[in-house]
Amino acid sequence: MVMEHDLDKVILTEEQIAKRVKELGEIITKDYKGKNLFVIGILRGASVFMSDLIREIKLPLEIDFMAVSSYGVSTKSSGVVRIAKDLDSTIGDKDVLVVEDIVDTGLTLKYIVENLQSRKPASVKICTLLDKPSRRVTDVEVAYNGFTIPDEFVVGYGLDYGEIYRNLPYIGVLKPEIYTK
């Protein structure tokens, strides 16, 4: 693939990701047994992760999606969160699990969680594939974390730069010359 030439290195292989997604699914299945699970994927980045994750959760569940933006085509969060697509369903009295691709500054997720909590769910927890705690500027509690990664610009497995690279089956570090043009 031409896109592979844009990467410095692969930090998480397809196999590593699949193993961890299965583990997360098992933990979530145990934690939500007997609960009214409602999974919300944050578009577009979390769509690949969420698709694999819900197949590993062995419980009845509902799904919906939100689309939010705080990046645009930049590599840094603007801190201004905009809801581009809201939920189609109500979440009152449901146990909500927000599925995100990556937690960086925490600003977007803090906004999403506060917004969802105002709708009176039974609970709201976060599941992320990737966590970059070194970039955090606000506190967000991540209940389920796939991998903690260093402060590098990563793409693949749903994560993009300029809407490209989402279809890579692994996660790699994008060469700086690609996003500093």
Report the pLDDT value the prediction gives residue 118, as an integer from 0 to 100.
Answer: 97
pLDDT, tens digit, for every residue of 48-87? 999 999 999 999 999 999 998 765 555 555 567 789 999 9
Two structure tokens written together for 151: 């402060």
Over residues 144-152, the mean pLDDT reads 96
Report the pLDDT value the prediction gives residue 75, as an integer from 0 to 100.
Answer: 52
Asked if 156 contacts 171 with a C-beta cutoff of 8 angstroms, the reply is yes
Give the type of residue at 174: L
Report the pLDDT value the prediction gives residue 17, as an integer from 0 to 100.
Answer: 98
pLDDT, tens digit, for every residue of 9-35? 999 999 999 999 999 999 999 999 999
Listed by start position, the domains of the chain span 15-153
Please check the confidence at residue 181 and state whether its pLDDT lies above 80: no
pLDDT, tens digit, for every residue of 100-145? 999 998 988 999 999 999 999 999 999 999 999 999 999 999 999 9
The H or E element containing residue 127 is strand 123-131
Sign of the dihedral through C-alpha 99, 143, 125, 131: negative
Q: Which CATH class, in words, describes the domain spanning 15-153?
A: alpha beta
Report the pLDDT value the prediction gives residue 92, as an integer from 0 to 100.
Answer: 97
Write down the catalytic residue from 104, 139, 151, 160.
104
Largest CA distance in the chain: 51
Report the pLDDT value the prediction gives residue 2, as an integer from 0 to 100.
Answer: 64
Report the pLDDT value the prediction gives residue 78, as an integer from 0 to 100.
Answer: 53
pLDDT, tens digit, for every residue of 83-104? 999 999 999 999 999 999 999 9
Sign of the dihedral through C-alpha 15, 128, 79, 138: negative
104 is catalytic: yes
